[in-house]
A and B are shown apart, each in its own frame.
Chain A
Amino acid sequence: MIAIEFILAGMLAAATPFLLAALGELVAERSGVLNLGVEGMMALGASVGFITVYSGGGHVMGFVFGALSGMALALVFAFVTLGLHTNQVASGLAIGIMGLGLSAYFGKPFESFTVTGLGKIAIPGLSDFPVIGGLFRQDIVVWLSLIFTPALWYVLKHTKLGLLLRAVGENPHAASAIGYPVILIRLSAVAFGGLMAGIAGAYASTIYTPLWADGMIAGRGWIAVALVVFGTWMVGRVFLGACLFGAVSLGGIAAQTVGLAVPSQLLASMPYIVTIVVLGIISSNRRLVKLNGIASLGEPFEK
C-alpha cells in the first residue's frame, strides 16, 4: 500500500474526534458562548466512555455515558458563565483543566488497559477501488458523523432553530426583546457542545485508539477549538478543515515511513499556524469580520 492510500484510508477516522468536538463548539460559539474547555470535556468523555466499555457496558453505553459526562462538565461551565456572569475565557480554561484532572482521577485504576474497537463497514463496490477504496471502509461512528455533518448544516442554515441560535449569538438583546429566552438557548447550545466533545472523547478512547492512558487526548481538544475559527464558524469549512488536519497528521507519519525527511515538529504545529493566519486574514478586513465573526462571542448577557 502506498502512502497516499494510507492517508486516504485513515484521514476520516483521524478527523472524526476533531470534527465532532469542533461541531459542538461551533454550535456553542454560534450562540455567543466561547467554551475553551473542549480539551477537558473530551478527556472526561474519553475516560468515562472507556471505563463504561471496559466494565462491559458496550460501545453504545460508552458513548452515552461519555456524552453525558462531557455535558455535565459543560453545564458547570454554563452555570458559572451564564448564571454568574463570570469571564468565559477564564472559566473555560478552568473547566478544561478540571476535566483533565477528573479524567485522570477516574481513569487511574484503568491506566493502560485496552478494549476491542469496532469493525469497519465497507460500501460494497466503492471500497474495492484501488487507491481511494480505503475511503469507503470506515467504522460506524465515521459514517454517522458524515450523515450528522450535513444535517447540522441544514439545521443551522434552514430551520427556525438555527436562525434563533444565530440571532442569539449576533444580537442577544434584540432576541431577548422580541421574547426569546436567550439564557436558555445559550445553555442548550453549551450543553450540546459538551455532549459532542464527550462523544468525540469516547470515540478516541473506545474506537480510534481503544485504550485508556492519562493525557491521551494530547491537545486534540485545542485543535477542535482552532478548527472552529479556521472554518470561520461554517459547518462545511470546519468539516474540510478537520479532514485537512487529519490528513496532515497522517501525512507526517506516512512521509517518514517512505523515507522522506520532513520536519514533523513543524507539521504538528500546522493546525495552529493556519488558524493564526486565518484569524489574521479575517480581522484585517472589517467586512470579513462582519460576515464571519459572531458579534456577541464571549460577552456575558444581562437583561
Chain B
Amino acid sequence: MTTTLNRRNFIAGASVATMVATLGARAQAATPDDPLIVTLVIPSPVADVGWGHALFEALETVKADYGDAMQLSVIENIFEGPDADRIMNKAVADGTKFLVAGSFGYQNGAMQIARRNPDVTVLHASGFMVAPNFSPFAAQYSQGTYLMGMAAAALSETGKLGSVSAFAIPELITSINAFTLGAQQINPDIEVSIVWLNSWFDPAKAQEATEALVAQGCDVLFSNAQDTPSVVAKAEELGVYSFNLNSSMKAYAPNTYLGCVLTDWSPFFRESIEAHLAGTFEGANAFLGVSDGVVKVVDWSPDIPEDVMARIMEVEAAIADGSFAPFTGPIIKADGSEGVADGVTMTDEEVIGMDWHVQGVTTPLPS
C-alpha cells in the first residue's frame, strides 16, 4: 500500500496510522503481517519530475522487491523547521522504522529522532552529521554536471552559460563549479553567470531568472535544484539549450533539451533497507556518484557534435573507473587565488564543503 500524504490530510489519516503503528512497533522483521514502515518527508510536492520524485521513485522501486512486507508513506510539502520535527516525530511514533528526511533543513530534527530512537534508521539528504543509525546522503552531481559543461560549451555560440540556482550552499556551488570546469575543457574562455533565487520553490521567479540570463546572452542554461520544469520550459520557448538534475524533463523541451543528470537512489536505498533489516546498518557519509550507479547522464541532445560526444564518453568512463575526478588541480578560484594545486585531487570532504567559485564564474557569491 502506498499512501501519499500532505500536511493537510496527515492529521486526518493519523487514526489509521496509529492502528498500523501497533503492528509495526513490535519487531524489526518485515513480513506482510508486520511490514517495515518507510516514511519519506520532502519539502516540495511529489510531481512527475524533480528531486522529490527521484526519491519517491527509488523507494517505490525498492518496495516492489518487498511487496506487502514494506509500507511506504510519503509526507510532502513540509517546511523545514519545527513543523517538520513534529511531523517526523509523529511518523516515528506511528511506527516508522526507516525514515528518509529529504531535505538539508530537516537535519537537526532528524538527528534528534535518531538519537532518541536507536531502532529507527534515518537517511538524511545533503547533510554532514553522522550517527550509528543516521547517514547523510548526497549525490556527486559534479560528476554529471562536468560532462554537461563539456556539451554546453560545444553548443554555446556566445561563450556564455547560465545557471538558475536555488540557494548558494556547497552542494549547488559544487555542481556549478564542475559545470564550469567541464565547459573550460572545450572552450577555455567560457563564462558562467548564476541567478540565486533564494528559494527552493518559486517557478515564476525561476522563469524571470531564465529570461534575465538569456537577455545577458547566455545560450545554455543549467536548471540547478529546481523541482519544476519552469527553467527548462522557458528555455525551450526562448530557443536556448537547458539541462537539469534528478529526473528527465525532456517532455518539456523536446527541441532544446541538452540532457539530464539523473539520480537513481534505488541501489543506495535497497542496500540501506537490507542492512537495517539485518541489523547491520552503520551510519556513514554516503557521497554517491557514477560508479555507485546513483548518478547517470541520460537523454543527451542529438545536437552535440560527435567528436565532443566521444570525448564526453571517455571522461564518463574515466570517472566511473576512478581514474579521473572533476576536481583535480590546477584549479584557480574566481578571485584569482589558487584553489587546488597542480595534480592534487580534492577529497570528498573538501568537495562537500566547497564554498568558493572557480575562475570562469562571473557572478560573485552572495555574502
A-to-B contact residues, CB < 8 Å: 1, 3, 5-6, 9-10, 14, 101, 104, 108, 111-114, 117, 204, 208-211, 213-216, 218, 220, 249-250, 253-254, 256-259, 261, 263-265, 268
Contact = CB atoms under 8 A, between A and B. Distances in A.
Contacts of B68: none
B6, B49, B203: most-surrounded residue (chain A CB, <10 A): B203
Contacts of B218: 257
B330 interface: no
B204 A218 contact: yes
Contacts of B280: none
Interface of B: 6, 8, 44-50, 77, 162, 193-199, 201-205, 207-209, 211-213, 215-218, 227-230, 233, 237, 252, 362-364, 366-367
B362 A259 contact: yes
Given A218-B202, A257-B363, A261-B367, A14 B208 contact: yes
Nearest to A259: B362
Nearest to B77: A214
A111 B364 contact: no
15 contacts: A1-B215, A1-B216, A10-B211, A104-B6, A111-B47, A112-B48, A209-B207, A211-B229, A213-B203, A215-B77, A218-B205, A253-B209, A253-B212, A258-B193, A263-B367
Contact of A261 (B46, B77, B211, B364): B364
A246 to B, nearest CB: 10
A128 B195 CA distance: 28
A216 B212 contact: no
Contacts, number: 118
A113 B203 CA distance: 12
B194 A250 contact: no
A249 B47 contact: no
Contacts of B6: 104
A1 B160 CA distance: 13
B48 A253 contact: no
B132 to A, nearest CB: 36
Nearest to B164: A253
A52 to B, nearest CB: 19
A114 B367 contact: no
Nearest to B213: A257
B77 A6 contact: no
A22 to B, nearest CB: 16
A114 B233 contact: yes
Given A112-B48, A250-B208, A259-B362, A211 B216 contact: no
Contacts of A250: 208, 212
B204 A208 contact: yes
Contact of A263 (B207, B216, B366): B366
Contacts of A264: 196-198, 366
Nearest to B204: A209
A264 B365 CA distance: 11
A285 B197 CA distance: 38
A302 B52 CA distance: 51
B195 to A, nearest CB: 5
Nearest to A267: B198
A215 B201 contact: yes
A278 B52 CA distance: 41
Nearest to B361: A259
B252 A114 contact: yes
Contacts of B216: 1, 3, 6, 257-258
Contacts of A249: 205, 208
A257 B195 contact: yes
Nearest to B210: A253
Contacts of B48: 111-113
A248 to B, nearest CB: 12
Contact of B196 (A113, A220, A254, A256): A256
Nearest to B8: A101
Contacts of A117: 237
Given A104-B6, A268-B198, A256 B363 contact: yes
